Amino acid sequence: MVGWLAEEERQGRRAVLERTGLAGLTVLRAGVPLPPKLRERTVLRRVEKAAGLLARAGVRRVLTRQDFPHWDVLSAYGLRPVDLEPLCQALAAPLALAALERQGIAPSVGTVALSGRRVSRPLFQAAMALCPQVRTLVIDAPDGGAELAGELRREYGAAALTALDGSAAQVLLSFSPGEGRGLLLWGPAPDLDGLTLVPPLDLPGELAPLPLLAVLWEEGRIPAKEIRVVPEDFGRN
Place 17 in a pLDDT band, splitting at 50, 70 and 90.
very high
> What is the rounded average pLDDT of the residues 127-156?
91
pLDDT of 180 higher than 70: no
Q: What is the pTM for the complete model shown?
A: 0.90
**Cα–Cα distance for residue pair 32/11, rounded to 1 Å:** 10
Q: Taking the chain, what is the end-to-end CA distance rounded to the nearest angstrom?
A: 39
**Structure confidence at residue 237 as a pLDDT band (50, 70, 90):** very low
In order of 1, 111, 128, 223, the CA distances from 124 in angstroms are: 31, 17, 6, 19
Check whether 234 has a pLDDT greater than 80: no
- Beta strands per DSSP E along the chain: 2-8, 16-22, 25-33, 61-63, 111-115, 136-140, 159-162, 171-174, 183-184, 195-198, 228-231
Percentage, residues of the chain above pLDDT 70: 95
Burial of 146 (0-12, 13-18, 19+ CB in 10 A): middle
- Burial class for 212, CB neighbours closer than 10 Å (0-12, 13-18, 19+): buried
Task: Give CA–CA dist 189/183, Å, rounded.
Answer: 11
User: Which range scores top for mean pLDDT: 89-93, 107-111, 153-157, 162-166?
Assistant: 89-93
State the chain's mean pLDDT as an integer: 92
Could you count the other beta carbons within 10 Å of the beta carbon of residue 44?
14
pLDDT band at 164 (very low <50, low <70, confident <90, very high): low
